[in-house]
Amino acid sequence: MNSAKNKKKIYVLDTILRDGTQAEGISLSVDDKLKITEKLDYLGVDYIEGGWPGSNPKDVEYFKRVKELKLNHSKVTGFTSTRRKNVSPSRDKILNTVVDVSPLACCVFGKTWDLHVEKALGTTNAENLKMITESVEYLMDKGIEVIFDAEHFFDGYFSNPDYSLKCLKAAEKGGAVNIALCDTNGGRLPDEIASAVKAVKKELKIPLGIHAHNDSEVAVANTVAAVEAGCNMVHGTINGYGERCGNANLCSIIANLQLKKGYLLIPESNMKYLTEVSRYIDEIANVIPDHRQPFVGHSAFAHKGGIHVSAVKKDTTTYEHIRPQDVGNERRILLSELAGASNIGFKSGEFGVKLSKEAERKLLEKVKNLEKNGYQFEGAEGSFELLMKKETGQYKKFFGLEGFRVIIESDSSGKMRCEATIKLIVDGEEEHTAAEGDGPVNALDNALRKALEKFYPELKKVSLSDFKVRVIDAKRGTAAKVRVLIESKDGEHHWGTIGVSENLIEASWEALVYSIEYKLLKSKDN
């Protein structure tokens, strides 16, 4: 592949702080926006569209406070519309809110579809052209670099190409540094995008960009097609946040164009941060990460089928289109009834356990039988490691259960009270204790820890981070078998354990015990 010096530069504009916040369920505070700004700068994004200061006080505050950040790479960019009809730019309040916050750059959007000029703006085509030129010119004269967002360009172009091109030329006349061709409704396909970009390239000298929405689920493909046709700037959002079905996903755009097409979008040394940035932004936005997201998802390089795992062990390119580490992700081998001996061999190596071929075969058979009975080890690798060490004689029993009892009662006000009593044997010593909790499982957890912590003080660092219950055979109603998955952490590591039973308390107890045993076994190993 060519060195970074010889690669064609494609500029990246992330609009998560403006277009991304229009997504249903996304709301960012000013502090959130500042944190994301720093993370996008860390990744090496060229432009960060921070918001529309003319639309709300929060964005005004953001543009004031963002000046306090020490950014190394990114230009913080404003957003605004062209001036209103029949009003000069100097007297347009919305346009001047951008001047007041004085960003380094600004995206100015204007109508390029005559349908919108007539229906939305209620003005003439000629006045709209003046609005575009004068607005761009006004901000450029104020020292603000202008990117013109040609709103609804592709719909306008395929309806009335002559007028849409006139709109672009009006922005060029005003001095814009780049014109972003927008598929605002997200309805166009890659061949249409490519043909329109090529036609525009013949008519204009100004560099072009692409701003695609994902309503037809081809926003990334449309962006790649536009770049191949001649665009040198891409707009989008990390993780594809955006109105309706979202914006083009920059994680996929950056990875595809830089790793596969040989363009330079972010510094080459920063590609390994892509997964980290994706998950950080999900965390700040309080969004559950999409595990199946290409390149950066938790499942993007997860292998489950035995045939796949066998091949990947020999040559990773058999089932991986790039190396996961190139985007900061990792390969994962899953365990299930679909697993083969290769899965067991891979996992045993991962856990530092040596297994003979015969031991691998027996363990695989046991896993498949357990999965048949409702167990699932994909999210419970702590339970699998314990199972493996039991099969190989590396397991130590840390305590024995003499018995437990859980009491649930309600007072006259209807308030529920839960108490668990437990009796354990640790190194020949009996420990009998009780504890209350918010529910029966919490009470059991508290009682178990209370009984064990004096023998194993390292358990004080362990806490439950998630508790999930899944009904396996719902047709049996209240007699159905349930699967309980517990996720635990100790400040450095996290692990999952599982329990299965027709009795919810029994299934929860099994998962709790496995969680404690896993921690103790790891402490002993270290």
Question: What does DSSP assign to residue 85?
Answer: T
pLDDT tens digit string along 307-355? Answer: 787 788 888 899 999 999 999 998 877 665 555 566 776 666 667 777 7
Whether 434 and 393 have beta carbons less than 8 Å apart is answered as no
One DSSP character per residue, 229-261 reads HT--EEEEBGGG--STT-B-BHHHHHHIIIIIS
Domain ranges in the chain are 4-285, 302-372, 400-525
Task: Let me know: does 397 contact 520? Beta carbons within 8 Å.
Answer: no
CB-based contact 444:437 (threshold 8 Å): yes
Helix orientation angle between 190-203 and 219-229, rounded to the nearest 10 degrees? 30
Residue 385 · residue 517 · CB < 8 Å: no
Strands 145-151 and 105-111 come out as: parallel
For 21, 122, 230, the CA distances from 126, given in Å and listed in that order, are: 33, 12, 29
Q: Work out the mean pLDDT of the chain and round it to a whole number.
A: 90
The closest of 119, 121, 105 to 48, measured between CA atoms, is 105
Res. 188: pLDDT tops 90: yes
DSSP letter, residue 315: -
- Over 345-362, what HEC string results? HHHHHHCCCCCCHHHHHH
Q: How far apart are CA 392 and CA 145, in angstroms?
A: 67
Q: Predicted confidence band at 1 (pLDDT cuts at 50, 70, 90)?
A: very low
Residue 301 backbone dihedrals phi, psi, to 5 degrees: -130, 40
Once rounded to an integer, what is the mean pLDDT over residues 407-430? 88
Q: 84: how many CB neighbours lie within 10 A of its CB?
A: 17
Question: Who wins on pLDDT, 107 or 291?
Answer: 107
Segment 181-203 mean pLDDT: 98
| Distances in whole angstroms, Cα of residue 44 to Cα of each of 39, 267, 498 | 9, 6, 41
Min mean pLDDT across 15-19, 66-70, 78-82, 333-337 is at 333-337
3-state secondary structure of 277: helix
Beta-ladder partners of 150: 110, 181
Q: Among 200, 215, 208, which Cα is nearest to 177's?
A: 208
Q: Which of 389, 283, 398 is nearest to 32 (CA)?
A: 283
Q: Are strands 494-501 and 482-489 parallel, antiparallel or unpaired?
A: antiparallel
Query: Residue 448 pLDDT more than 50?
Result: yes
Is the domain defined by 4-285 classed in CATH 3.20.20.70?
A: yes
- Per the CB < 8 A criterion, the answer to whether 499 and 511 are in contact is yes
Q: Are 263 and 10 in contact (CB under 8 A)?
A: yes
Beta bridge partners of 180: 149, 209
CATH of 400-525, one of 3.40.50.300, 3.30.160.270, 3.40.50.620, 3.40.50.720: 3.30.160.270
Contact 419, 406 (CB under 8 A): yes
Burial class (CB in 10 A: 0-12, 13-18, 19+), 208: buried
Distance CA 131, CA 496 (A): 59
pLDDT of residue 206: 97
Residue 108 pairs with which residues in a beta bridge? 80, 148
Tell me: pLDDT of 298 over 90: no
Share of the chain above pLDDT 90, in %: 65
Tell me the C-alpha distance between 491 and 483, whole Å: 26
CA distance 99 to 25: 31
Counting residues of the chain whose pLDDT is more than 70, the rounded percentage is 94
Report the C-alpha gap between 401 and 516 in whole angstroms: 13
User: Which one, of 96, 104, 152, 98, lies nearest residue 128 by Cα?
Assistant: 152
pLDDT for res 412 = 76
DSSP H helices, 29-105, are 30-43, 57-65, 93-101
- Of 152-166, 231-245, 416-430, the range with the lowest mean pLDDT is 416-430
- Rounded to a whole number of angstroms, the distance between the first and last alpha carbons of the chain is 43
Q: Is the pLDDT of residue 116 over 70?
A: yes
| Cβ pair 223, 233 in contact under 8 A | no
Burial (Cβ within 10 Å: 0-12, 13-18, ≥19) of residue 347: buried
Any idea what the Cα angle at residue 490 is, between residues 485 and 492, rounded to 5°? 115
Q: Specify whether the CB–CB gap between 55 and 61 falls below 8 A.
A: no
Q: Would you say residue 495 has pLDDT above 50?
A: yes
Q: Is 67 exposed, middle or buried (0-12, 13-18, 19+ CB in 10 A)?
A: exposed
Averaged pLDDT for residues 15-36: 95
